[in-house]
Amino acid sequence: MFSEKELNLQESELRNRVRNLPDEQRKRYLELEGRQLRSLSVYKRLNALFFLGLNHFYLERWLRGVINLLATAVAIYLYLFNDMRGYPVLILLGMIFIEIPQTINARHLVHSVNNRIMEHCLARVGDRGPTQRPGGLRDSN
């Protein structure tokens, strides 16, 4: 997980690249970005239903969403159709324990996803950004 400072710096660099795009590319970029960026408030609301994995599906973290959904289904099945009443509670408590950091770091998580979306949108409009030189040095093209 990135720090807030790193995420802000990355976003600032991406926004500078957007500003330097020709008008037609910038217009296309803004259309793409507007449809794809994720909302922190929506993520937080969906996080309340984390047992269903909706918050992970919203950020396109498909595997985590499916795991939450399956764990919830297993817990419900065990509770309703077996005499193992303690196991469903343990499963759900485990999910709560795993999801607490997601709730605490929601802002950073959504910011990181949005930065990746911005990078992807820039690539789709033809701006590949600075290229990497050997040794990790950046070349501004």
Two structure tokens written together for 126: 């033809």
For the stretch 56-63, contacts whose Cβ atoms lie closer than 8 Å and that sit 24 or more positions apart, written own/partner, are 59/109, 59/110, 59/113, 60/113
pLDDT in tens, 59-85: 999 999 999 999 999 998 998 888 777
Q: Is the pTM of this model over 0.85?
A: no
pLDDT in tens, 27-51: 999 999 999 999 999 999 998 888 8
N-term to C-term CA, the chain = 29
Query: Which has more pLDDT, 91 or 50?
Result: 91
Which residues, 6+ apart, have CB-to-CB distance to 120 below 8 Å? 36
Q: Which residues pair with 138 in a beta bridge?
A: 132
